[in-house]
Structure 1
Amino acid sequence: MPPPRAPGTETSNDPSLLPIRILTVCTGNICRSPVAERLLQAGLDQVKPGAFRVRSAGTRAMVGDPVQPLSAGIISTYGGTPEGFAARQLTPAILRDADLVLTMAARHRGEVLQLDPSLLKRTFTIREFARMLEVLEERDGGRDGDPSPAADLAALWRGLPARAASVRHLALAPDAADNDVVDPYRRGEDAYRQMEDELSPAILTILRFARVHS
């Protein structure tokens, strides 16, 4: 009999047994994407513990740095945990491990696709993705007409990027800047408040969708 695996090292060929893997991306991985990572993780853990794994990375990461203090304060305010975070550089290997990539700005989406063009229909700015979820909800309740409350959560979320991409034309922003979350790095408290104002509604929309369809 083979020895048991250490906890956390289990593998499976069945995608439904694996957590849904979400990656958030910004530039330095110390201001915006950590806020999205930690708040999405905290909220999704309340929906279904263990069903989601949210991580983040930066296109020009300040590798090893903790979350910036003002971002850490935002995370704590909304019930997340900023401790234990270390910035990391975005790589093709990290991207291959993601079911859904949520970037903080359109240029980050472009950089993701330069690293892995196959992620075209799995990569969105986070504000754009939230608008797409709202369109899906208005159109068909978010389930393509499936009335069953027992619809498989993993299948729903792994199919969600393609469904979101299919309604991109219905979720266009009035201004392209409305797809982006401002970069507050070295810009003071007002910029961090603007970041919070732009980012938090998108996070709340994603978490609301998750709760309704859990």
Structure 2
Amino acid sequence: MHVLFVCHGNVCRSVIAERLTRAVAIEHAMPELTAESAGTRALLGFPVEPLAAKIIDGLGADATNFRARKLVPALIDRADLVLTMTEQIREQVGALSMGAVARTFTLLEAHRIAHVTGARTIEELHSARDDLSLVGRESIADPVGLSEQAYCEVGDRIAEALIPLLLALAPSHEIPPREDDRPGLVIAPGSPPPLAAFLAAQRAR
């Protein structure tokens, strides 16, 4: 499964999700799980925003060797699943590529559908989309220009939605969905918590 993550600048939220997905694929020996990211208003060629890189490192993923790129139809067309950070970006993706709507969701939307319905395929996610009532907004706000705490909260939100979703869509890697007692993201200079510990906590719940 190839996943495309989309935000605005492609230097923060979508990169966190991309690099976390790659780390999950390594952790679970899932070479079929791949990821890339792009931005609707990408800061072309820019590296990961420094605080976002710190979040990625804190989640046990790799923030190096990255350059931002703009969202183009070819990126959408080769993705099995497109996960956006906001509802507005989701609509932009659908307008850019014919047939993309059925495999494009906000990250929080896809997580909610999988959690509520037990969906285990992209087709099941799409089929259940209109049957579920929407509670609140399903967007992850851009923390660029805000405090380090804001970045930590965004990293938490992405990880807590993305990891269960990826494991749900990967056969034999299911974890029981639960919303309480989630581990928080802690950034400690020189001693980032490994992804293995985060995944172990998810599996143990």
TM-score range, shorter chain: 0.7 to 0.9
**d(CA) in 2 for partners of 1:167 and 1:85?**
35
Residue segments in structure 2 that go unaligned for 5+ positions in a row: 174-205
TM-score for both structures, normalised by structure 1: 0.75
Task: Tell me the amino acid that sits aligned with residue 117 of structure 2.
Answer: L
Instruction: Say if 1:95 and 1:208 are closer, same or farther in 2 by CA, change over 3 A.
Output: closer
Q: Is the 8 A contact 1:21 1:54 kept in 2?
A: yes
8 A Cα contact 2:21 2:34, kept in partner:
no
Residue identity in the other structure for 2:127: S
Cα distance in 1 for residues equivalent to 2:103 and 2:166: 18
SS in 1 for 2:2: strand
Counterpart of 1:192 in structure 2: which amino acid? Y
* Greater C-alpha Rg: 1
> Number of matched residues?
173
Q: 2:157 aligns with which of 181, 195, 198?
A: 198
- Does the residue aligned with 1:118 lie in a helix, a strand or coil? coil
In structure 2, which of residues 52, 63, 86 is the aligned counterpart of residue 105 of structure 1? 86
* 1:131 Cα deviation after fit: 1.1
- Confirm or deny: 8 A CA contact 1:131 1:171 kept in the other structure: no
For residues 26-41 of structure 1, the aligned pairs below 5 Å read: 26-41=7-22
C-alpha distance 166-70 of structure 1, shift in aligned 2 (>3 A): same
Please tell me the root mean square deviation across aligned C-alpha atoms, in Å: 1.7
In the other structure, the counterpart of 1:4 is: none
Matched, 1:182 2:141: yes
Instruction: Give 1 or 2: higher helix fraction.
Output: 1
Shift of 1:211: 5.8
Q: Which runs of 5+ in 1 are unaligned?
A: 1-19, 144-159
Identity of aligned residues (%): 36
SS at match of 2:5: strand
Change (3 A) 1:171 1:192: farther
- TM-aligned CA deviation for residue 208 of structure 1: 3.5
